[in-house]
């Protein structure tokens, strides 16, 4: 009863400070979806991550009011609480919308209703509030003539643009590095002080616009302190959008054997170096990863990986090569034509099969499939396969053109779903659908032998824990590659959950010894991997104590204490 009284007191204080555009959710059942992550943290650690309540902000003043209240009551043992902000809360595989630690009474601050958007079409600079999703930005740009690309990710249409940039996520459109494309930030430090750049403060013009055009500002660069941290809340972000070019072609290069990987990597480097700005980032995927897109999981109800024979049968059946290279070219018609030929020439050094989206075989295939009656398509297994592969090729092309879709999301359903064919028309949401997923996302040295050794490493570790070694390399630049391995598991099977967590831990700890360092961590790794005594994290703690003296913002988020 005492507890209930205290809770009510806090809730009435919150209700007192937020506007009537905001919503306070205190009902356990209504709060529960915010705790539904893909990571299986609660069952693994045998303690429930919990939140006290959720505030859905109606405007930016609600953010200021809640932060102020959290600071005011921070010395009151009964009332004190921490605030954990989310933009769309779809940080699947890294924590979803769950708070980083379970120690404090947490009020989750949901910013998904903040939907303002301003766009300077001439310069391609868009200013967004945290609630704007990939789909909403896409719809907005299409209405204006569809001249710019959305910085899309595989996470799909319902994810926030701001949330992804704060995590320093990346995609496969021209501006791959999403925080790299952020030119200005406005926000609020956890101590309640507003943040805008020094350049913005110096500007005495009415528009105060130039801040949005220049990422680095004047003086110490502070915008970056809002990313992968717990120092403040971003209320507005300006992003440089990539303009749609007159011509666009995507390509897919198939390598028959594993032995060709080592020879292919320098060729990818060369393409990225020589055609910077024309070729976006390049993805390199192994056969098992490709099967996750095109095949049904043959062991769907079992906690086991595909056997070599199963892989062989499926890859033969679906004509999936050992490695697949995927990328895109954009520019004027002539530039695209010349670059396409150059890429073909560069790859002539090794046996391969290259397919470009403007090849007659693709346009013919699309035409034939679109003209065939459903009945015929459904009766022929071969035609169904062609339809699925062409469909995925077209969807992947859309993503590279900055059009959000859900094609990559199917991956999260590999362990507990009937397979790639059963997604038609479904709105996928891995958190809500109780998919089990964690990410291993290390940076690897962009050198052929190092990348081949890394492949061996992942292929050795994952099967020990019954986890499929699905490997993707995203070649962000000619000198920088990040790999993503989705650790997919059945969230309802405690053994599978344990194996998944142990697998990730083994990959991370053993990988660090070999120089494979994650570019991004999940909320559990943030607690055990970072050494609070190191020079770096001591400095972070000094900054934290100034910007958040009462430790009210997302305690523990990229901040060991
Ligand atoms: C199949 C699949 C494919 C994926 N592909 C990609 C991919 O290609 N690239 C990629 O980067 N990720 C990918 N992801 C991972 C993840 O889902 C995305 O990065 C997603 O965009 C992050 O969630 P969000 O945008 O909803 O951010 P949120 O969950 O809202 O925010 C992320 C974190 O940032 C902090 N935060 C959010 N908003 C604010 C704010 N306003 N102020 C201060 N802090 C804030 C919060 O602590 C939060 O935990 C993928 C996931 C899946 C399942």
**Residue-wise pLDDT tens digits, 280-315:** 889 999 999 999 988 889 998 899 999 999 999 999
Which residue's C-alpha comes closest to atom 36 of ligand 1? 86
Q: Which of 55, 88, 166 to mutate to test the pocket of ligand 1 (most atoms within 8 A of CB)?
A: 166
Q: What is the DSSP letter of 110?
A: E
Residue 153 CB–ligand 1 contact under 6 Å: yes
Residue 92 CB–ligand 1 contact under 6 Å: yes
**Residue-wise pLDDT tens digits, 186-233:** 999 999 999 999 999 999 999 999 999 999 999 999 999 999 999 999
Q: Which of 164, 326, 396 to mutate to test the pocket of ligand 1 (most atoms within 8 A of CB)?
A: 164
How many angstroms separate the alpha carbon of residue 297 from the centre of ligand 1? 27
Query: Which among 529, 524, 527, 532 has a CA at the least distance from the CA of 509?
Result: 529
Residue 128 CB–ligand 1 contact under 6 Å: no
Residue 217 CB–ligand 1 contact under 6 Å: no
Residue 163 CB–ligand 1 contact under 6 Å: yes
Mean pLDDT, residues 522-535: 95
Residue 188 CB–ligand 1 contact under 6 Å: no
DSSP string, 425-459: T----TTTTT-EEEEE-EEE-SSHHHHHHHHHHHH
How many angstroms separate the alpha carbon of residue 97 from the centre of ligand 1? 9
Which residue's C-alpha comes closest to atom 50 of ligand 1? 155
Instruction: State the chain's mean pLDDT as an integer.
Output: 92
How many angstroms separate the alpha carbon of residue 262 from the centre of ligand 1? 32
- Answer whether residue 49 shows pLDDT above 60: yes
**Residue-wise pLDDT tens digits, 109-162:** 999 999 999 999 999 999 999 999 999 999 999 999 999 999 999 999 999 999
List the structure tokens of 92: 């699947």
Q: pLDDT tier at 2 (50, 70, 90 boundaries)? A: very low
Mean pLDDT, residues 53-74: 98
The CATH T-level fold of domain 2-113 is 3.30.43
Residue 402 CB–ligand 1 contact under 6 Å: no
How many angstroms separate the alpha carbon of residue 318 from the centre of ligand 1? 32
- Report residue 201 CA to chain centroid gap: 32
pTM of model > 0.85: yes
Q: Which of 100-114, 358-372, 384-398 has the highest mean pLDDT?
A: 100-114
- Report residue 394 CA to chain centroid gap: 21
Q: What span, in angstroms and rounded, lies between the C-alpha atoms of 349 and 150?
A: 35
Q: What span, in angstroms and rounded, lies between the C-alpha atoms of 206 and 261?
A: 56
List the structure tokens of 391: 């469909």
Rounded to a whole number of angstroms, the CA Rg of the chain reads 24
Nearest atom, ligand 1, residue 163 CA: 27
Domain segments of the chain: what residues?
2-113, 122-240, 247-407
State phi, psi for 447 to the nearest 5 degrees: -135, 140
Q: What span, in angstroms and rounded, lies between the C-alpha atoms of 499 and 74?
A: 39
How many angstroms separate the alpha carbon of residue 412 from the centre of ligand 1? 15
How many angstroms separate the alpha carbon of residue 138 from the centre of ligand 1? 18
Residue 86 CB–ligand 1 contact under 6 Å: yes
- Answer whether residue 175 shows pLDDT above 70: yes
Q: What pLDDT does 43 receive?
A: 47
Query: Which among 332, 327, 283, 329 has a CA at the least distance from the CA of 470?
Result: 283
Q: What span, in angstroms and rounded, lies between the C-alpha atoms of 325 and 339?
A: 16
Mean pLDDT, residues 457-477: 97
End-to-end CA distance of the chain: give it in Å, rounded.
Answer: 33
Residue 88 CB–ligand 1 contact under 6 Å: yes
Question: Which of 41-55, 150-164, 328-342, 478-492 shows the lowest per-residue confidence on average (mean pLDDT)?
Answer: 41-55
Q: What span, in angstroms and rounded, lies between the C-alpha atoms of 302 and 291?
A: 17
Mean pLDDT, residues 451-463: 98
How many angstroms separate the alpha carbon of residue 144 from the centre of ligand 1? 27
State phi, psi for 252 to the nearest 5 degrees: -140, 120
* CATH placement of domain 122-240: 3.30.465.10
How is domain 247-407 classified at the architecture level of CATH?
Answer: 3-Layer(aba) Sandwich (3.40)
How many angstroms separate the alpha carbon of residue 237 from the centre of ligand 1? 15
Strand order in the sheet with 125-128: 117-120, 125-128, 232-240, 182-189, 194-195
Residue 91 CB–ligand 1 contact under 6 Å: yes
Residue 406 CB–ligand 1 contact under 6 Å: no
Which residue's C-alpha comes closest to atom 29 of ligand 1? 89
Q: For residues 109 and 230, is the Cβ–Cβ distance under 8 A?
A: no
List the structure tokens of 102: 């379970």
Which residue's C-alpha comes closest to atom 14 of ligand 1? 155
- Answer whether residue 424 shows pLDDT above 70: no
Q: What pLDDT does 47 receive?
A: 56
Q: For residues 234 and 130, is the Cβ–Cβ distance under 8 A?
A: yes
Burial annotation 345-383 (CB, 10 A radius, 16+ → b, else e): ebbeebebeeebbeeeebeebbeeeeeeeeeeeeeeeee
Q: For residues 167 and 227, is the Cβ–Cβ distance under 8 A?
A: yes
């Amino acid at each position: 009863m005492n507890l209930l009284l205290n809770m009510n007191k806090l809730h009435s204080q919150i209700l007192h400070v937020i506007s009537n555009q905001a919503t306070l959710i205190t009902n356990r059942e209504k709060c529960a979806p915010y705790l539904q992550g893909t990571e299986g943290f609660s069952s693994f650690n045998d303690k429930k991550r919990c939140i006290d309540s959720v505030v859905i902000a109606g405007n930016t003043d609600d953010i200021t009011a809640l932060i102020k209240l959290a600071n005011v009551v921070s010395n009151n043992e009964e009332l004190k609480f921490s605030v954990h902000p989310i933009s769309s809360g779809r940080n699947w595989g890294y924590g979803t919308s769950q708070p980083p630690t379970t120690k404090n009474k947490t009020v989750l601050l949901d910013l998904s209703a903040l939907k303002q958007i301003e766009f300077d079409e001439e310069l391609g600079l868009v200013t967004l509030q945290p609630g704007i999703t990939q789909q909403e930005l896409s719809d907005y740009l299409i209405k204006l003539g569809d001249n710019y690309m959305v910085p899309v990710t595989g996470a799909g249409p319902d994810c926030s643009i701001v949330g992804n940039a704060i995590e320093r996520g990346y995609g496969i459109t021209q501006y791959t590095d999403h925080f790299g494309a952020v030119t200005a930030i406005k926000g609020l430090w956890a101590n309640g002080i507003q943040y805008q750049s020094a350049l913005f403060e110096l500007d005495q013009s009415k528009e105060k616009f130039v801040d949005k055009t220049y990422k680095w500002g004047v003086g110490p660069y502070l915008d970056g302190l809002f990313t992968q941290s717990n120092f403040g809340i971003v209320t507005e972000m300006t992003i440089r959008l990539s303009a749609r070019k007159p011509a666009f072609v995507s390509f897919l290069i198939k390598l028959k054997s594993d032995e060709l990987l080592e020879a292919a990597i320098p060729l990818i480097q060369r393409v990225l170096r020589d055609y910077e700005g024309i070729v976006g980032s390049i993805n390199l995927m192994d056969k098992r990863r490709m099967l996750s897109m095109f095949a049904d999981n043959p062991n769907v109800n079992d906690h086991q990986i595909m056997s070599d024979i199963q892989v062989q049968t499926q890859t033969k059946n679906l004509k999936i090569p050992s490695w697949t290279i995927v990328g895109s070219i954009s520019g004027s018609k002539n530039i695209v034509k010349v670059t396409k030929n150059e890429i073909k020439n560069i790859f002539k050094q090794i046996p391969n099969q290259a397919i470009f989206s403007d090849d007659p075989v693709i346009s013919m295939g699309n035409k034939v499939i679109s003209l065939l009656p459903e009945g015929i398509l459904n009766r022929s297994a071969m035609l169904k396969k062609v339809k699925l592969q062409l469909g995925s090729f077209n969807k992947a092309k859309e993503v590279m053109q900055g059009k959000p879709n859900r094609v990559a999301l199917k991956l999260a359903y590999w362990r507990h779903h009937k397979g790639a064919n059963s997604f038609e028309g479904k709105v996928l949401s891995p958190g809500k659908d109780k998919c089990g997923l964690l990410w291993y996302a290390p940076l690897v040295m962009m050198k052929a032998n190092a990348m081949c050794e890394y492949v061996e490493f992942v292929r050795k570790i994952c099967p020990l824990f019954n986890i499929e070694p699905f490997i993707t390399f995203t070649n962000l630049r000619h000198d920088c590659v990040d790999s993503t391995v989705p650790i997919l598991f059945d969230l309802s099977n405690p053994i599978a959950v344990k194996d998944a967590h142990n697998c990730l831990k083994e990959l991370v700890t053993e990988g660090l010894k070999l120089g494979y360092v994650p570019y991004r961590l999940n909320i559990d790794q943030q607690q055990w991997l970072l050494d609070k005594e190191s020079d770096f994290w001591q400095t972070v703690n000094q900054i934290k104590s100034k910007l958040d003296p009462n430790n009210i913002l997302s305690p523990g988020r990229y901040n060991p204490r």
